Amino acid sequence: MTSPRIPNAAGVLTAMLVMCTAALTVVALGDDGHGGIDRTLTEWAIAHRNGVLTPIAVTVSVLSGTIAMTVLATLTCMGLSWQRRWPAAALVAGAGLGAGLLVRGGKNLVGRARPPVEDHLISVANLSYPSGHSVGSFVVIGVVAVVALPSVRGPSLRILAATAAVVFVAAVGLSRIYLGVHWATDILGGWCIGALWLILCLTVYRYFEPVQEAVGASGEQERHESPPGSGAAVAGGDPHTRTSMRHDRPTIPASLFHETRTIRPPTSAEPRERSGRASWSPET
């Protein structure tokens, strides 16, 4: 039984995310990032660039891009489909596709420009808010963790995997600021939007999952409870099944249709009678 505190906490978290998303979107609409905290954080990141962090940031950015996240989501869907976990596969596919649509729609709606080109360490072409890398990595890594972590054996490994997922998502956001292609509010807005979308997807998934499990369990129970010769077993119309049932019918031995005699052993008097009759002969 689920504790009532969990839905309450989820509701409070969702409300906070909605308010944060609204506030960050307003900031993005009214500020191009050239002033305030966005510019301060970008200048700090540029000042701390070095030969060690730069290749790491580029690698993290590539691993969290559209192609990499699409490959990860596709492989996860294939693995879940192989295990016949259809609701989970639909969850991963729907969450990934929805994240892409949210990013495209958000960028066109807000229309925020990226930081100056001279600050870029990599080439980018589209708009800034929200960060597509932040939304995509948050949603895809999050949903893959949700469907995959229960299969990991041992609490220590699950904690390690969950920690690695959180660290990777955080590293993606920081790498985009370090590379000079996003403002800090782009990253925060992307995380909030990604979290809201992930919560919505998981809520729908949790709503439909018990129904799918109940239907599957009912069908499995019917298959196990049906006797070998019942109509439920023949309803499938499998010729092999019907043939095997005819061959499996018990045969009645032909000897049961003939009269049988029971030979009773003779008593002690009978041999004497037979002996007397055998020794008597009429007088001539």
Q: Is the dihedral of CA 252, 253, 256, 257 positive or negative?
A: positive
Q: What is the pLDDT of residues 120-150, one digit of tens each?
A: 999 888 898 999 999 999 999 999 999 999 8
Mean pLDDT of 78-97: 93
Give me the phi and psi of 200, to 5 degrees please. Answer: -65, -45
Q: In this predicted structure, which of 90-94, 104-108, 236-240 has the lowest mean pLDDT?
A: 236-240
Q: At what angle do helices 132-148 and 155-178 cross, to 10 degrees?
A: 170
Other CB atoms within a 10 A radius of the CB of residue 186 amount to: 31
For the chain, list the domains and their CATH numbers: 5-216 (1.20.144)
Query: What pLDDT sits at residue 4?
Result: 57
pTM above 0.85, yes or no: no
Q: Residue 28's pLDDT is what?
A: 87
12-65 per-position pLDDT tens digit: 888 999 999 999 999 888 877 666 888 889 999 999 999 999 999 999 999 999
Q: Residue 25 and residue 28: Cα distance in Å, rounded?
A: 5
**132, 181 Cβ separation under 8 angstroms:** no
Question: Tokens 């955080």 identify what position?
Answer: 170
Q: How confident is the model at residue 242 (pLDDT cuts 50, 70, 90)?
A: very low
